[in-house]
Amino acid sequence: MSEKERKAYFGNNFNSPPEVVERCNRIATENVLKQGTSKKGRFIPKNPKKYMGDPTNIIYRSMWEKKVMESLDDNLSVLRWASEEIIIPYISPIDNRRHRYFPDFYVEALSADGTLKKVLIEVKPAAQSQEPKKPERRTKRYINEVMTYGINQAKWKAAEEYCLDKGWDFMILTEKELFKKNSK
């Protein structure tokens, strides 16, 4: 991490002792590697008419999301798609307050039998879709993982109910689905 990147990432902790900076660098690197999703940017579709919303303002928040966007844009079965255009209210288990969930993608596509399928898709690391394993010692990292898992579960339950009401499907894509090797 360059000095400029460190200053931007750590803010007031930039001038901390070297051992603190080293630990923070290690944690930041672990987070990037764990998620594999460090790059953010603006997606420019080849087929802007397929996009439901402003095709000049499509933002990806990870390389995994970008990969899904490229696939949706190129896939002939996909008639229309949107990114973070749908808002679903949910109650957070952390503060018991109402929040807004923006699923990553909404897709309208033709299935193999020619019927129209409507699907909400969330892209997440597999680790965030499974209950964290309890360590011997209760660490801050474990507490954060439990909170993230709980919030994700609340969001996904709300999304499943929303989709059920509309006759849509809800799908969570992890690296297992995104990077599946062909078995042929």
- Cα–Cα distance for residue pair 91/152, rounded to 1 Å: 11
Contact 158, 90 (CB under 8 A): yes
104 in catalytic set: yes
54 in catalytic set: no
Q: What backbone phi and psi angles, to 5 degrees, belong to 60? A: -105, 140
For residue 132, how far is the Cα from the chain centroid?
A: 18
65 in catalytic set: yes
At 66, list the tokens.
């970008």
| Catalytic choice (66, 73, 104, 122) | 104
- Cα–Cα distance for residue pair 168/70, rounded to 1 Å: 22
| Catalytic choice (65, 73, 122, 145) | 65
| Catalytic choice (73, 124, 145, 155) | 124
Q: Hey, is 103 helix, strand or coil? A: coil
- Cα–Cα distance for residue pair 31/24, rounded to 1 Å: 11
* Residues labelled catalytic: 65, 104, 124
